[in-house]
Chains A and B, each alone.
Chain A
Amino acid sequence: MTELIVQQNWFVWMTLLPLGAAVATFLAPGQARWIGLTTALFLPFCALAAIAATVFSTAQPLTVGNWPTPLGIELRTDGLALVMLAVTALVGFIISCYALGYFPPRQHHLSRTHYFWPLWLFLWGGCNALFVSGDLFNLYVTLELVSLASVALIALEGGKAALAAALRYLFIGLLGSLAYLLGVGILYATYATLDITLLGEIISDSRLNHAAMSLMIAGLVLKSALFPLHFWLPQAHTMAPAPVSAVLSALVVKAAYVVLLRLWFEVFPALDTLAIGHLLGLLGCVAIIWGSLMALRQERLKLLIAYSTIAQIGYLFLVFPLARGEAMAGAWVGGVLLMMTHACGKAAMFLMAGTIHHTAGSDRISRLAGAGGPIGVQVVVFTLAAATIIGLPPSGGFFAKWLFINAALATGQWWYIAIILSGTLLAAAYIARVLGWAFLDVKRSSYPVIPWVMKWPPLALSVIALVFGLIAYAPVQIALIGAPVSVPLLVEFGP
């Protein structure tokens, strides 16, 4: 029995199960909530089993249909895939619980409730397929799955503004995908293979390959909303219902970034990428400052969080100039760690913004005056989650930034330290602005009762984000399984 469980390829099941559940919820819309919740309950255990199988019995990557690699599609169980599967399972579970309360069963707009589940399960399955894929064209297919599901979820709220935001997101997604696909086409025409591992071994430093790389990176940068290609993000992320905003900010943006990490460290390491790395780093810096300043100016809570996402994406792109020489492993781990904690923290923040909107009747920040009393739980959860966005110890955000600063010191690029520190200060400022209103001494009364699933599950998420730094050892070790960074992690953990 134990053998059967250990020997199952759980990471493949994590793609098949949500997709199967999506079909089931489409066929039986009346039972969608329970099918969705059961799947969401099951997937974290699948993730644990997948990690256990890799750690204890060194499960090998496999190819679909067991064909040899240039022919078949490789599915990988390396560290990056495993930690992303696990984080998605955790965040997805919490979001599913929250959605039970957010889309109550008997409501006027029945279709909204019923279409949320198949779309969200498709998105989840698509993300999982993306994380384990080791094939450039298969990555394109998974990106399409994720984008299309996101478009539909954004439009779920209905109304002109939401439709406009969804349509714009669709066009952006298509443009990004096509640029990526053109790059894939060039690589395939040259090397007759799409497998990431094989390409990484045979690729050479030619002009054509540089063109392919630029196209693919440009497409993915557009999809992951790096400044100045972030223009679509605030509308798309704020027009959506709260659980969808959480999914988009926590997971969907990261999906494109995971593909970027795979390309940069596994397909194109043979190319001279110094200049492009610095360009991405520069854009990341501008994104940190610009996103934070814009967040500081927002009147609405969801817009503030969306601009904060733009700033946090800027941090993620610091990996590319920093991951060099001795600092390679440190910067890479910092990026992965930031991706994980930001997924937890930002999901908790968006879910709480939804609850606050639900209770206070508006998401204007000024309407939060005095909210700290009657809806104290929500404000506390928001604050805890915000701690990881600011980067306070012992949150995961703190350790990720610590690793970045170490990498900047090791490679002698001190200016990134200045940017990281000012970004931290600005983040503290815009969070403090929200809390300042919430803790004003204003008498407020008569808030509506909200279901417990909208209160307590996000608390778990924000607590995990907060203590992530303390438990970071295990995830980092898992992430380093089969990591493309060969230099051992030189930096110490802890201040």
Chain B
Amino acid sequence: MEPALIFDLVLLLILIGLAWLLLASTDLFRAVVLFIAFGLLLALAWVRLGAPDVALAEAAIGAGITGALLLVGLGRLGSTERCRFSRAPLTFLQRLSAPVLVGVMIPSISLILLLEVHQLAGTTPGRQGLINAFLDVSGSGHGVTAVLLNFRAWDTLLEKGVLLLALITIWSLDQARPLFHQEDISPQLMGLARLLLPLVIVVAGFVLWQGDQAPGGAFQSGALLSAGILLAILVGYSLPQRWQGLSLRLLLAIGFGVFLLIAAATLLYSGYPLQYPEHLAGSLILLIELVATASIAALLAAAVVGGHPPDDLSTPAAKAPSTSGRR
């Protein structure tokens, strides 16, 4: 047996085991930690499948930012709610639904997939050939970037919309509350942050820039930057009050807004949305990636902070200390 195959099998078994453990866990904190571990190993699985772009995104967003979101959410729940989770009495249908889902539906789907998996090997030539044929005129040297920002840019445009919409949803629910008490900041953390922050910014810039030729790009870079922003917030930096209004909103919306404007301009100019003029394709993709990185970083960080900033729209009485956004 090849060593690579053994590695893959072990990885698969660990993944399934982790998934089971985290679903079965009644302690929410343990489940979140397992979730983060699961995300990191899943990123490894993507690497094994030859999809480093997905692996980067999974590690940064699936494990990192989502893990942070879950931990912050858990912190807000308080200890009583955490315990109640395991004691809610189940109705008959709820009892029935889990065995039906786990015992019947998933095995049957898996069985069909296993039986017919030879068909999946690709009876038709994949899309790769087609992508390569058009890569020269796409304005990007990397197939994944070309697909995301040119061939299927419509999907990416709408996904950016989903991200902004998610933040508006969070803002519509509540006002942001402080993540922690200011006096808790340790000097060690402060020192670490001073070392790490410039590094994070440089690495994020590099990941963004190399997206043109190799795995990387706005989502991965934005996730890294947002981690930097969160670190900055954790050591006590906060966005000045005067930047929490329109400036913050502009930063959050600019990624989607510029993409939309380019779609509108190309539709007006050529009749096809997002048909870039060939000589401008590279620059337009770079522009979209740049503003998207800024927006994604701000959006992910703002999502972890949670809730809208205490601005002039809400009641003047609520003037909580601000923790939102960038340094």
**Whole-angstrom distance from the CB of A36 to the nearest CB of chain B?**
14
Asked if A73 meets B263 with Cβ closer than 8 Å, knowing A62-B272, A111-B313, A122-B161, the reply is no
The interface-forming segment of B9-17, B20-28, B121-129, B319-327 is B121-129
The interface-forming segment of A147-155, A439-447, A453-461 is A147-155
| Bound CA–CA A31/B272 (angstroms) | 31
| Bound CA–CA A16/B120 (angstroms) | 36
Q: Which residues A107-157 have CB closer than 8 A to chain B? A: 110-111, 114-115, 118-119, 122, 125-126, 129, 137-138, 141-142, 144-145, 148-149, 151-152, 155-156
Task: Mark A190-207 against chain B: 1 for CB-CB distance below 8 A, else 0.
Answer: 111100000000100011
Q: Which residues A145-172 have CB closer than 8 A to chain B? A: 145, 148-149, 151-152, 155-156, 163
Q: Are A110 and B119 in contact (CB under 8 A)?
A: no
Q: Flag whether A394 is at the interface (Cβ < 8 A).
A: no
Q: Is the interface of A mostly helix, strand, loop or mixed?
A: helix
Q: Which residues B218-262 have CB closer than 8 A to chain A? A: 246, 249-250, 252-253, 256-257, 260-261
Q: Are B276 and A65 in contact (CB under 8 A)?
A: yes
**Whole-angstrom distance from the CB of A108 to the nearest CB of chain B?**
8
Between A and B, how many residue pairs show CB distances below 8 Å? 168
Q: Flag whether A374 is at the interface (Cβ < 8 A).
A: no
CB neighbours of A110 from chain B (8 A)? 313-315
The interface-forming segment of A22-30, A342-350, A397-405 is A22-30
Q: Are A125 and B161 in contact (CB under 8 A)?
A: yes
Question: Which of B127, B173, B252, B267 lies in contact with A192, CB distance below 8 A?
Answer: B127
CB neighbours of B260 from chain A (8 A)? 16, 19-20, 23
| Bound CA–CA A163/B130 (angstroms) | 47
Q: Are A64 and B274 in contact (CB under 8 A)?
A: yes
Task: Mark B48-70 against chain A: 1 for CB-CB distance below 8 A, else 0.
Answer: 00000000000000000000000
Who on chain A is nearest to B146 by CB?
Answer: A71
| Bound CA–CA A192/B131 (angstroms) | 12
Q: Are A26 and B253 in contact (CB under 8 A)?
A: yes
| Bound CA–CA A208/B112 (angstroms) | 7
Q: Flag whether A63 is at the interface (Cβ < 8 A).
A: yes
Q: Flag whether A424 is at the interface (Cβ < 8 A).
A: no
Asked if A207 meets B112 with Cβ closer than 8 Å, knowing A26-B168, A111-B172, A115-B168, the reply is yes
| Bound CA–CA A137/B152 (angstroms) | 10
**Whole-angstrom distance from the CB of A139 to the nearest CB of chain B?**
10
| Bound CA–CA A301/B261 (angstroms) | 44
Who on chain B is nearest to A116 by CB?
Answer: B172
Q: Is the interface of B mostly helix, strand, loop or mixed?
A: helix
Q: Are B130 and A190 in contact (CB under 8 A)?
A: no
Q: Which residues B73-127 have CB closer than 8 A to chain A? A: 109, 112-113, 115-116, 119-120, 122-127
| Bound CA–CA A64/B155 (angstroms) | 10
Who on chain B is nearest to A115 by CB?
Answer: B172
Q: Which residues A40-83 have CB closer than 8 A to chain B? A: 62-68, 70-73, 75
Q: Are A23 and B172 in contact (CB under 8 A)?
A: no
| Bound CA–CA A151/B171 (angstroms) | 13
Q: Are B116 and A208 in contact (CB under 8 A)?
A: yes
Q: Are A16 and B172 in contact (CB under 8 A)?
A: no
Q: Flag whether B205 is at the interface (Cβ < 8 A).
A: no
CB neighbours of B116 from chain A (8 A)? 206-208, 211
Q: Are B249 and A27 in contact (CB under 8 A)?
A: yes
Q: Flag whether A12 is at the interface (Cβ < 8 A).
A: yes
Q: Are B113 and A26 in contact (CB under 8 A)?
A: no
Q: Flag whether A215 is at the interface (Cβ < 8 A).
A: yes
Question: Which of A63, A70, A155, A207 lies in contact with B173, CB distance below 8 A?
Answer: A155
Task: Mark B159-188 against chain A: 1 for CB-CB distance below 8 A, else 0.
Answer: 101101110110111000000000000000
Q: Are B274 and A71 in contact (CB under 8 A)?
A: no
Q: Flag whether B282 is at the interface (Cβ < 8 A).
A: no
Who on chain A is nearest to B126 by CB?
Answer: A192
Q: Flag whether A1 is at the interface (Cβ < 8 A).
A: no
**Whole-angstrom distance from the CB of B273 to the nearest CB of chain A?**
5
Q: Flag whether B270 is at the interface (Cβ < 8 A).
A: yes
Q: Are A66 and B272 in contact (CB under 8 A)?
A: yes
**Whole-angstrom distance from the CB of A167 to the nearest CB of chain B?**
11
**Whole-angstrom distance from the CB of B260 to the nearest CB of chain A?**
5
Q: Are A190 and B119 in contact (CB under 8 A)?
A: yes
Q: Flag whether A409 is at the interface (Cβ < 8 A).
A: no
| Bound CA–CA A22/B163 (angstroms) | 13
CB neighbours of A119 from chain B (8 A)? 165, 168-169, 172
CB neighbours of A380 from chain B (8 A)? none
Sample (8) of A-B pairs whose CB atoms are under 8 Å apart:
A16-B264, A64-B272, A66-B272, A66-B275, A73-B152, A118-B168, A119-B168, A138-B155
Q: A67-B151, A122-B165, A148-B165 are in contact. List 11 more A-B contacts (CB 8 A).
A: A9-B273, A13-B267, A26-B168, A64-B274, A71-B127, A119-B168, A122-B161, A149-B169, A190-B123, A192-B122, A208-B120
